[in-house]
Chains A and B, each alone.
Chain A
Amino acid sequence: KAGVTQTPRYLIKTRGQQVTLSCSPISGHRSVSWYQQTPGQGLQFLFEYFSETQRNKGNFPGRFSGRQFSNSRSEMNVSTLELGDSALYLCASSFGRSGYEQYFGPGTRLTVT
């Protein structure tokens, strides 16, 4: 069974721009979660989607948003990029509720200049 895939793997954007990241979960998984990983803050929970509904959101500004489609694929959008948004963005999928067991993708490395 194919794992979680994320596209693109690397991205360079300029401050003020917006970006959309994509995540395809493992087939049959209905829950998708997003995390931001930085050297300073570590791994932080962004939000989780289950059956196209956002169930919870971490402590991030409204510039960070996401959605989930009927096929469980998910996108994450960051508007008005700031230098501090440079990070590895990880997507994780799980069959049921995300808190039980999550499988992570390789991540998208976003660099904001």
Chain B
Amino acid sequence: AQSVTQLDSQVPVFEEAPVELRCNYSSSVSVYLFWYVQYPNQGLQLLLKYLSGSTLVKGINGFEAEFNKSQTSFHLRKPSVHISDTAEYFCAVSDRSGGGADGLTFGKGTHLIIQP
């Protein structure tokens, strides 16, 4: 079984400042890693994913994340945020060995608040 910890439930940041949303996972097997974003009254949109290869992955809207196997982390970063980035961000993992049949395990989410 896996678990995901998003260390910050809420992160306030000034517009145009950089931001890092932290995610740590626990798993006894190899995993795939994902970041999703949820805007109010909407479903989840995939920001980026790590399946294999380079540990630095780039996603949509200028976001990137780095997979660190030794620290079991997958932190999300953006060098300069905009008001439109205000949303809930979810880190998720799935079991690589199970072929994905177990679905995604999500963290509790981090509410990113952009202040003008």
Contact = CB atoms under 8 A, between A and B. Distances in A.
A38 to B, nearest CB: 11
A43 B101 contact: no
Interface stretch (B63-71, B77-85, B102-110): B102-110
A107 B103 contact: no
Interface residues of A, number: 28
Interface in A67-113: 90, 92, 94, 96-107
Nearest to A101: B49
A90 B43 contact: yes
A56 interface: yes
A102 B44 CA distance: 9
Interface in B66-116: 90, 92, 94-96, 98-109
A48 B34 CA distance: 18
- Chain B interface extent, by class: 20 to 34
Contacts of A107: 42-43
A45 B105 CA distance: 7
By secondary structure, the A interface counts as strand
A22 B103 CA distance: 19
Contacts of A96: 100
A24 interface: no
Contact of A99 (B36, B41, B95): B95
Contacts of B109: 42-43
A103 B60 CA distance: 14
Contacts of A47: 103
A55 B101 contact: yes
Given A43-B90, A99-B32, A99-B98, A58 B103 contact: yes
